[in-house]
């Protein structure tokens, strides 16, 4: 990876009010998603791991602030890495 985690994360709006997603960061070919609970709290999805269409869809949902967790749970995209924080 050639991006720094957690230094440019944006707060997820969580318009539905019940998402575990709290923040995200995206770049040209990736999105990092930070969760408020669970064993793994930071997931990175890349064009290579999940596909460009899926990553772009996730970026759009993140910017809208709604539907990201539902999309991830439904589609189960392959992450490139995950971390406890």
pLDDT category, 4, cuts 50, 70, 90? Answer: low
Residue 17 predicted with pLDDT over 80: yes
The whole-chain average pLDDT of the chain stands at 92
pTM of the model: 0.89
Please write the tens of the pLDDT for every residue from 21-48.
999 999 999 999 999 988 889 999 999 9
Is residue 1 over pLDDT 90? Answer: no
**CA gap 57, 62 in Å, rounded:** 9
Consecutive H or E run containing 84: none
């Amino acid at each position: 990876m050639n991006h720094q985690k957690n230094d440019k994360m944006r707060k997820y709006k969580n318009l539905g009010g019940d998402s575990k997603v709290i923040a995200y960061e995206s770049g040209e070919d990736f999105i990092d998603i930070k969760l408020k609970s669970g064993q793994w709290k930071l997931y990175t999805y890349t064009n290579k791991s999940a596909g460009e269409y899926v990553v772009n869809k996730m970026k759009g949902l993140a910017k809208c602030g709604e539907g990201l967790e539902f999309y991830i749970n439904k589609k189960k995209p392959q992450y490139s890495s995950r971390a406890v924080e």
